[in-house]
Structure 1
Amino acid sequence: MNYETHFASDVDMERFDPETLRARKRRRIFLALIVAAVVVIAATLLFGRNSGAGDTGSAGATVVAPVVTVLSPGQSAFQGTVTATGSLNARIDMPVGVVGEGGEVVRVLVQPGDWVKAGQSLAVIERSVQSEQARSLAAQIGVARADAKLAKTQLDRARQLVGRGFISQADIDQREATLAAANARVGVAEAQLAEQRARNGRLDIRAPASGLVLTRTVEPGQVVGASSGVLFRIAKDGAMELRALLSEADLARVRVGVPAAVTPVGGNQSVKGHIWQVAPVVDPVSRQGIARVAVPYTPVIRPGGFAAVSIVTSTGNAPMLPESAVLSDPSGNYVYIVNSKNMVERRSVKVGQVSSSGVAISSGLTGQEKVVASAGAFLTPGQKVKPELQKAAR
């Protein structure tokens, strides 16, 4: 017990001995001075390398010029475009129904997606009764012609006898009238037969014009008539269109005949077309108008579908900059350029078309300047910089 107590006392005395504490403090101060010296030497070496690229202020301090990426955009061809969406439709949608008296459908000759010619039969109607009626009228023509032939023979004989005094002139007049009536009956019978044949011809449902069959709502065995409604829909000549909804401002920039590219939803294939009609009125509620884009038929164009359209409104050449190079504030849009003294200058610009290729500058630049590509918000006019040139994005 005495030995342990004595050992613990020696340890406590050594821990709190003044000389020991002062030695430890001196070691700590020495280590701190060494670390500070290393930091000063490292900073001196680092800033000494860039001393040639900096400026010396009035107080003798060296100012390091920041490196900025600049580009010389030149002149690039661009197209001003308006983008919109809308529905696909047949340019001329022709509903086809029953034009005759109708009847039972015997055969349907076309399917949706088939191309047809003007006058081509789309469906055949049963016509047994109408055919017998036509035969009856044809027979009546034969009877009327026989009566007319007999009347003419009797008239010729009477004219031979009138000179001998056997027949009076009144009999001749009567026989002439009989012949005229017989000829008239022949004409009536022929007209009735032609009418019946025309009715029979209208029994079949025919295409009013050449085009693409879009829909079919009739099947064999179905009884159709004037009240059956639309049985087929045909896109005349297969011509399609996109009815694009545009704002008032965009509608004012669109003209008939300008090119456009239509891309159906769900596809990546664009179909070239052109504006064929611009709405003369604007919806007072939505403040939008319709521009109708004519496109030729292709399998990717399906009436009733949805599509996007890009309409060309203008073309030209202008400097093209990335969006990061164009800044804005309450005074308007501007860019920073680096002059021949490697100093930053502010240049006000007017922005044109904005697209995936960049921002077209319609005025304010010639394209030969060195424009700061990015980080312009961290610069100030008159600041000294070190420009690093890169190619403009095309």
Structure 2
Amino acid sequence: MNYETGGIGPGEAIAIEDGREGRPRRRRWIIVAAILLIVAALAAAAYFFRSGEAEGEAGTAAPGAAAPAGGGQIPSVTVAVPGRVTVTKVVSGTGAIAARREMPVGVAGEGGLVTRVLVEPGSWVNSGQVLATVDRSVQAQTAASLAASVRVAQADADLAQAQLERANQLVDRGFISRADIDQRTATRDAAVARVRVAQAQLQEAQARNGRLDIRAPAAGLVLTRAVEPGQIVSSGSGVLFRVAMGGQMEMRAQLSESDLARVSVGVPAEIQPVGSEETFSGEVWQVSPVIDPQTRQGIARIAVRYDRALRPGGFASARIQTGATTAPMLPESAVLNDQQGSFVYILDAENKAQRRPVTVGDVSDAGVAIASGITGTERVVLTAGAFLNPGQKVVPTLTTLKR
């Protein structure tokens, strides 16, 4: 075979194929290189952008700002001069509301069948007012019989008196002796005595009949009723009505032994029934002379005026004023405590914090009363005292305490 005639040699064919395959490879390498250049450019831009932000923040920082660990910046604290205020000493207690003088009402007479009940719980009654009536049909007949006996005895007495008067007119004429006069006088006196006996028996019956009605022993407020018409009652039936004399109420506040010793008769108090936002003024009228050995508590009885909101048996809280003193008053944030006791920080003339031990008095919503330790003229640190050290210099901000 002749390879030279009108053909291409083997070497030339291979060269042509290699040129065709090399062009796509060069394109791929160019694309990869371009991508790498773009990524490098983006990374460099991000690096320089972050470096610029850091420099900007450093440049805009407040001049003269103290470093976290150095510089010794002076802290600012709020201070006040508390002065002295009148502090009312208050003792708190809880207890039940009751009638100050509760009168149990029952059957005073022999009793019987109840015919009518005239009052209901919550009714106001007068002294001697009938609360319920008892059947008196038999007793009424007895009283009528005794009344007739009185009239018979009175008629006999009138007849004896008339005979005695006629005898006295005849004695001077000698028709009747003096002995007859004496006899007729005795007869008249006996008749008069029988009249008095009959009258006494009638009055006794009328009194018994009057006791059949159940009456209020004094004016007041009916608290309970335990009788109905048709009921048979007697002296052994127990309490049928309970009446609060004059409608007077009280609260029996239970106090601890130490608090009871601070309470005296006549001191004012405020009572707030459970479930009510209304308070009622009163005063202590009796302090228990004994202490319960089981609970170690005593009772202070607080008298209050009648009000519909004060229901006997209800529960209430009481605030009893036991006196008043003059002392500095501070908010609770100003008084600190540690193992050595209570203390406050005050500022001296150089605005340096100084620790001052204090004795805490009564604590109330108004604040903490300081019994001793400060006079009220000092500049007392109100807040941030827990972060101060004795002798530390501060920048004070003076404020006024709200009373």
- TM normalised by structure 2 equals 0.84
Decide which of 59, 75, 79 is 2:84's aligned counterpart: 75
Decide which of 290, 295, 302 is 1:286's aligned counterpart: 295
1:112 partnered with 2:121: yes
> Once the 2 structures are TM-superposed, how far is the Cα of residue 286 of structure 1 from its aligned partner?
1.5
Equivalent pair of 1:70/1:371 in contact (CA under 8 Å): yes
Gap change, CA 1:371 and 1:209, over 3 Å in 2:
same
Please name the residue that 1:188 is paired with.
197
Q: Per the alignment, in what secondary structure is the counterpart of residue 242 of structure 1?
A: strand
Q: Which amino acid aligns with 2:267?
A: V
1:255 partnered with 2:248: no
1:388 partnered with 2:397: yes
Please name the residue that 2:312 is paired with.
303
Equivalent pair of 1:259/1:274 in contact (CA under 8 Å): yes
* Alpha-carbon distance between aligned partners in 2 of 1:131 and 1:110, rounded to the nearest angstrom: 24
1:213 partnered with 2:222: yes
1:323 partnered with 2:332: yes
Q: Encode CA deviations 1:114-160: one digit per residue, 9 max, x unaligned.
A: 22221122222232332222221111001111222333344455564
* Alpha-carbon distance between aligned partners in 2 of 1:2 and 1:379, rounded to the nearest angstrom: 81
Please name the residue that 1:333 is paired with.
342
Q: Encode CA deviations 1:212-269: one digit per residue, 9 max, x unaligned.
A: 1112222333332222222211111111111111111211111111110001111111
> Once the 2 structures are TM-superposed, how far is the Cα of residue 163 of structure 1 from its aligned partner?
7.6
Please name the residue that 1:129 is paired with.
138
* Alpha-carbon distance between aligned partners in 2 of 1:338 and 1:271, rounded to the nearest angstrom: 44
Q: Any residues of structure 2 matched to 1:139-158 within 5 Å, and which?
A: 139-156=148-165
RMSD: 3.1
Q: Any residues of structure 2 matched to 1:231-242 within 5 Å, and which?
A: 231-242=240-251
Gap change, CA 1:167 and 1:366, over 3 Å in 2:
same
* Alpha-carbon distance between aligned partners in 2 of 1:47 and 1:39, rounded to the nearest angstrom: 12
Decide which of 369, 372, 377 is 2:386's aligned counterpart: 377
Q: Which amino acid aligns with 1:245?
A: Q
The alignment-based identity, stated in percent, is: 53
* Alpha-carbon distance between aligned partners in 2 of 1:148 and 1:3, rounded to the nearest angstrom: 169
* Alpha-carbon distance between aligned partners in 1 of 2:28 and 2:262, rounded to the nearest angstrom: 97
Please name the residue that 1:57 is paired with.
none
> Once the 2 structures are TM-superposed, how far is the Cα of residue 6 of structure 1 from its aligned partner?
6.0
Gap change, CA 1:377 and 1:142, over 3 Å in 2:
same
* Alpha-carbon distance between aligned partners in 1 of 2:390 and 2:24, rounded to the nearest angstrom: 79
Gap change, CA 1:4 and 1:127, over 3 Å in 2:
farther
Please name the residue that 2:6 is paired with.
none
1:89 partnered with 2:98: yes
* Higher alpha-carbon Rg: 2
Please name the residue that 2:280 is paired with.
271
Decide which of 350, 353, 367 is 1:344's aligned counterpart: 353
Q: Encode CA deviations 1:148-176: one digit per residue, 9 max, x unaligned.
A: 2333344455564598476583x555544
Q: Which runs of 5+ in 2 are unaligned?
A: 1-20
Gap change, CA 1:228 and 1:41, over 3 Å in 2:
same
Please name the residue that 2:7 is paired with.
none
Q: Encode CA deviations 1:62-95: one digit per residue, 9 max, x unaligned.
A: 3211111111222222211011111000011101
| Greater shift in the superposed pair: 24-33 or 77-86 | 24-33
Please name the residue that 1:58 is paired with.
none
Q: Which amino acid aligns with 1:389?
A: L
* Alpha-carbon distance between aligned partners in 1 of 2:63 and 2:343, rounded to the nearest angstrom: 34
Equivalent pair of 1:322/1:393 in contact (CA under 8 Å): no
* Alpha-carbon distance between aligned partners in 2 of 1:308 and 1:362, rounded to the nearest angstrom: 27
Equivalent pair of 1:88/1:307 in contact (CA under 8 Å): yes
Please name the residue that 1:366 is paired with.
375
Q: Encode CA deviations 1:289-324: one digit per residue, 9 max, x unaligned.
A: 111111111122111101110000121322211111
- TM normalised by structure 1 equals 0.86
| Greater shift in the superposed pair: 354-363 or 114-123 | 114-123
Q: Which amino acid aligns with 1:327?
A: L
| Greater shift in the superposed pair: 148-157 or 132-141 | 148-157
Q: Which amino acid aligns with 2:91?
A: V
Gap change, CA 1:213 and 1:16, over 3 Å in 2:
same
* Alpha-carbon distance between aligned partners in 2 of 1:3 and 1:95, rounded to the nearest angstrom: 125
Q: Which amino acid aligns with 1:295?
A: V
Q: Per the alignment, in what secondary structure is the counterpart of residue 131 of structure 1?
A: helix
